[in-house]
Amino acid sequence: MNRTILAAMTLALAAGNLASCQPAAQPVAIGEQDAGGTVALKVGDTLVVSLDGNPTTGFTWAPAAQDPVLLRQVGETEFQPESDRTGAPGKVILRFEAGSPGQTLLRLDYGRSWEADDLPAETFEVTVVVE
């Protein structure tokens, strides 16, 4: 086979491989300022919710019941304290993955698990539209 043809075929294959490699989608980050709003995601996108909290008080953010086909929590809830002081407040981080097209209300309640009959101290809600 002619070297020129072989080189052209090799370049075409390499270009095709590079074109098919799409960069991973950046997570969509939201917080308190987005409460009551709407966020748009694509199937497979990750939604990262970061809210003020302090688990040393017994309070934590927990998702209310929702359709796990549209939006499901992935991983464990994380906490990033604002300092290394014992009992310091910080950010509670929850991650969700968009599973299928549709619309759902993501509601997070801030409360204590042993006070299940009480109203949450705070509520965070955002409408999620998955395309």
Taking residues 102-125, report their average pLDDT. Answer: 93
- Per DSSP, 45 falls in state -
CA dihedral over 36, 39, 45, 48, signed as positive or negative: negative
Residues 6+ away with beta carbon under 8 Å from 19: none
- Residue 8 burial (10 A CB sphere; 0-12, 13-18, 19+): exposed
Taking residues 97-112, report their average pLDDT. Answer: 96
Binned at pLDDT 50, 70 and 90, residue 20 comes out as very low
Closest CA to 115 of 59, 53, 56, 54: 59
Instruction: Give residue-wise pLDDT tens across range 33-46.
Output: 999 999 999 999 99
Beta bridge pairs of residue 120: none
Q: What is the rounded distance in angstroms from the CA atom of residue 25 to the CA atom of residue 32? A: 23
pLDDT at 22: 54
pLDDT at 6: 47
Q: What is the rounded distance in angstroms from the CA atom of residue 90 to the CA atom of residue 122? A: 16
Q: Which domains does the chain have, with CATH numbers?
A: 26-130 (2.60.40.2020)
pLDDT at 76: 94
pLDDT at 113: 87
Q: What is the rounded distance in angstroms from the CA atom of residue 8 to the CA atom of residue 66? A: 53
Radius of gyration of the chain (CA): 22
